[in-house]
Amino acid sequence: MNALTAIQTRRSIRHYTEQAVDDEIINTLLTAGMAAPSAGNEQPWEFVVIRDRETLARIGGINKYATFAKNAPVALLTCVNTEREKFPGNGILDVSACTQNILLAAHVIGLGAVWTGIYPERDRIEGFRRLLDIPETILPLALVVLGYPRSKAAATERFDASRIHTEKW
């Protein structure tokens, strides 16, 4: 699958089979994430790989939009290490690009994945800090819940020419 096809056909997937996602695949996804651009090339990302069934089940209590995580084989928490930001505030952008790379890589590999938001919701940030013993210098940004999809989602056309402005608004 080429890059444009991956971008245009990736969809959020929330239902997975019970098949485990092995460590080699997780490392491939994290390698793709770490290939993202970052301000000043600081690469301020950190990750928590979550496989524990009990922990995955508790995620829904922190983010009601991620209750399905309890049925996933794995989730990847993407975080900003604020001590690594060369340009403060840009870590959020950097780790967002990293998270998108993970989603695209998962799709190309044949996994289903979905970005569940944590930042900027203070209660979610603090909830994940407590759940996973995350220090104050680390900002939980997004939880990518993933696994082998139960079914395939159809691609939809999202191009909207009315959103494009040339030279001026």
User: What is the full DSSP assignment across 81-142?
Assistant: EGGG-SSTTTHHHHHHHHHHHHHHHHHHHT-EEEEEE-TT-HHHHHHHHHHHT--TTEEEEE
Global pTM value: 0.95
3-state secondary structure 96-111: HHHHHHHHHHHHHHCC
Residues in the chain: 169
The continuous run of DSSP H or E covering 156 comes out as none
pLDDT for res 163: 96
Mean pLDDT per 10-residue section of the chain, whose length is 169 residues: 93 96 98 98 98 98 98 98 95 98 98 98 98 98 97 88 96
Which fold, 13-150?
NADH Oxidase (3.40.109)
pLDDT for res 154: 85
Residues 6+ apart with CB under 8 A from 48: 76, 77, 79, 132, 134
pLDDT for res 153: 84
Q: At what angle do helices 23-34 and 91-109 cross, to 10 degrees?
A: 140
